[in-house]
A and B are shown apart, each in its own frame.
Chain A
Amino acid sequence: MTDATATATGAEATGEKKEMVDVFSDEGIGAAAGSNPVGYALAQLGDADENVVTLSADMSGPLGDFRGRHGDRYFEFGIAETNAVGVAAGMAAAGLVPYVVSMAPFGLIKTAEQVRTDWVYNRLKIRMVARLSGLAMGFFGPSHQAIEDIAVARAIDGLDIVTPADANSAIGLLHSTADLDGPIFIRICEGLPPVYDRPPRIERGQWPTVKTGTDVTVIGNGIGTGLGLQAAQLLEGEGISVGVIDSAWLRPYDERAILDAAASTGKLLVIEEHSVVGGVTALVAEVLGRNGVSAHLADQAIPAGEIEVGVPAELLRYYGFTAENVASKIRELAKG
């Protein structure tokens, strides 16, 4: 079960259209939030610990608050992500706590070798905060889509993986991971429907249950948690009871939550803004298989094959990331 501080608000979710993000915008500076949870939380972390430094590869926009309050601890490296990752390793070896803020497709996907060799093998306390993951930059072309980054991260054993479900969750997870040793990959998608009414305290490896239900369990990841809540609301009138779990941590992950869901409903729908290859669906399948547990497992993910290009809101609809489509998939599972 989730911590008491984590309160689901999906019932109030508006399902508003996912707008395109201006990736260089300073919007959200000084705001408590929604539009720039990363910038907001990192400035707070900088207030609390003078060893916290931020590194940017041409991502200064969202770090406006940090730059304003801790300008001497903000380091810009231009469009050279791999160097920024290596520099962070040297800083961590010298006792600083670096946060590398990257655009997701040019973060872990581009710098996986440095993260593996310099961060993970050496067990250094560093974080990569990958913004604009999933389809958030889908308008710009396949180069800008980050739909394999969870798979890359999962392949690097020793790298903690955190995937916030909404803005409050991003703030909560940035804070709750602050004191953890070792490297952490924090994957943040954009335009996430609200799930938590304030920053939750999610323990390392915990998958909070944000809604209980008896017929089908949604294992949400990122946008999937809020979509699961919206779909559950749509289905209430039909007598279908949907539980929703937030897979906030992918390493370590909550094996107990997966097995409990398989035991209680036996019907699982994973929703992830990621390729179906190597992501959360695959993780859940591995857990079920290794434990010899039989369950119905469906996915709402980006299918294998060529990726389409377009405005993020339209891309999400195209690939079925809507409450209506999720509800339809849940109906099918409930029948079976």
Chain B
Amino acid sequence: MPADTTAEDAPETLERSRPISIDDLEKRADWIRLQTIDLIDSAGLGHYSSTFSCAELISVLYYHTMRLRPSQPDWPDRDRFLLGKGHVATGVWPVLVDLGYFPESWLEQFGKIGSRINDHPNMKLAPGIDFSSGALGHNTSVGVGMALAGKLRGQDYRVFEITGDGELQEGTVWEGIMAAGHYKLGNMILIADANGFSGAGPTSGAMNIEPLPARFESFGWEAIEVDGHDVKALVDLFDSLPENGDRPIAVVARTKKGHGLAMTEEAPQAWHLGLMTPEQRDAAKAEIGARLK
């Protein structure tokens, strides 16, 4: 092998704040919804409405905001992505395929015994997964560890985490939030997908978690509220993140559980976990697909 490598050999890095139109990001969010419907259909069960509520977040983070290197998933300087609400991994798998982390054929095995991709993400099985999740309340602490490691080693990667709002009822999350504030982890961005529902009903009916911004601020974070389906607002917000801030950032993304499909918006709790009939599936895909034309 020649000692020098050409530019063509160097792994391609997807830099932060990549140029992409708002319309394209919106369409990708809907494409994530369509893919989610298909994956759940093939597996026989899955989380629709929780995935739909953060489809715009996934779209903006992966196609615009985060610094990634799909050909080298363990590249030390990549931005980290943690899915605290691991049950929406279904919406991430097609994106990882699209970006080149693993082949499309893996999607056919989704949810089957022996598959590398399942309802919740496993870092040991799937390239592009920075940490496994499933048990709610774990990944904020994990993110603190990654952010501390980056600061210790002088690396400038950022740690993004999407949590559910129900997940914020877990006490360990607040231990992690307290530690992130204490250590002034400006390289950590927690995005609360505040869709107002957990598995059994309205989140704050089970246990009040509001006011979220004030709670984060009292732990030493900067808290920003945003419409989690407003792609332009999300792009602007993430583009404005400080380079060397000394406060962790909490993005309280106000979202609608089941967003983007009338059926799931009207009955978000019923579609937290389920399986559409073939007729429902076709109607749902037609409704969402119409926006992509």
Contacts and interface: CB of A to CB of B under 8 A. Distances in A.
B152 A73 contact: yes
Nearest to A94: B149
Interface stretch (A114-122, A250-258, A263-271): A114-122
Interface in B133-158: 134-135, 138-150, 152
Given A77-B179, A93-B123, A86 B145 contact: yes
Nearest to A93: B131
Given A82-B175, A121-B132, A122-B123, A87 B141 contact: yes
Contacts of B144: 83, 86-87, 90
A88 to B, nearest CB: 6
Contacts of B132: 117-118, 121-122
Contacts of B142: 86-87, 89-90, 93, 118
B135 A117 contact: yes
A280 B134 CA distance: 32
A95 interface: yes
Nearest to B171: A82
B176 interface: yes
A87 B135 contact: no
B123 A90 contact: no
Contact of B146 (A73, A82, A91, A117): A91
Contact of B141 (A72, A73, A89): A89
Contact of A94 (B146, B175, B183): B146
Contacts of B140: 86
A87 B178 CA distance: 12
A97 to B, nearest CB: 11
A91 B172 CA distance: 17
A70 to B, nearest CB: 11
Nearest to B157: A94
A121 B152 CA distance: 26
A82 B140 CA distance: 11
B145 A90 contact: yes
A interface secondary structure, majority: helix
Contact of B150 (A82, A94, A114): A94
Nearest to B150: A94
Contacts of B139: 86
Contact of B131 (A75, A77, A89, A96): A89
Contacts of A88: 145
Interface in A76-117: 77-78, 80, 82-96, 98, 113-114, 117
A53 interface: yes
A123 interface: yes
Nearest to B132: A122
Given A83-B175, A87-B148, 7 more contacts: A53-B152, A73-B152, A77-B175, A77-B179, A78-B178, A83-B144, A87-B142
Task: Give chain A's interface residue range (CB within 8 Å of chain B).
Answer: 20 to 34
A53 B76 CA distance: 18
Contact of B138 (A73, A84, A98, A117): A117
A91 B149 contact: yes
A5 B219 CA distance: 52
Interface in B161-191: 172, 175-176, 178-179, 183
A312 B54 CA distance: 54
Given A83-B179, A86-B142, A89-B145, A113 B152 contact: no
17 contacts: A77-B175, A82-B172, A83-B172, A83-B176, A86-B141, A86-B144, A87-B142, A87-B144, A87-B148, A87-B179, A90-B147, A92-B145, A93-B131, A118-B132, A118-B142, A121-B132, A123-B124
A49 to B, nearest CB: 14
A94 B145 contact: yes
Contacts of A53: 152
A72 B152 CA distance: 7
Nearest to A113: B135
Contacts of B152: 53, 72-73, 96
B130 interface: yes
Given A96-B152, A121-B132, A86 B124 contact: no
A91 B145 CA distance: 4
B134 A95 contact: no
A89 B80 CA distance: 14
Contacts of B131: 89-90, 93, 118, 122
A130 to B, nearest CB: 19
Residue of B134, B142, B143 with most chain A CB atoms under a 10 A cut-off = B142
A123 B152 CA distance: 23
Nearest to B134: A117
Interface string B191-218: 0000000000000000000000000000
A286 B175 CA distance: 40
Nearest to B173: A83
Contacts of A77: 175, 179
Nearest to B172: A82
Nearest to A80: B175
A90 B143 CA distance: 6
B134 A93 contact: no
A83 B141 contact: yes
Residue of A90, A94, A122 with most chain B CB atoms under a 10 A cut-off = A90
Nearest to B151: A72
Interface in B102-149: 122-124, 130-132, 134-135, 138-149
A123 B132 CA distance: 11
Given A82-B172, A85-B141, A114-B138, A90 B149 contact: yes
Contacts of B178: 78, 80, 83
A80 B172 CA distance: 8
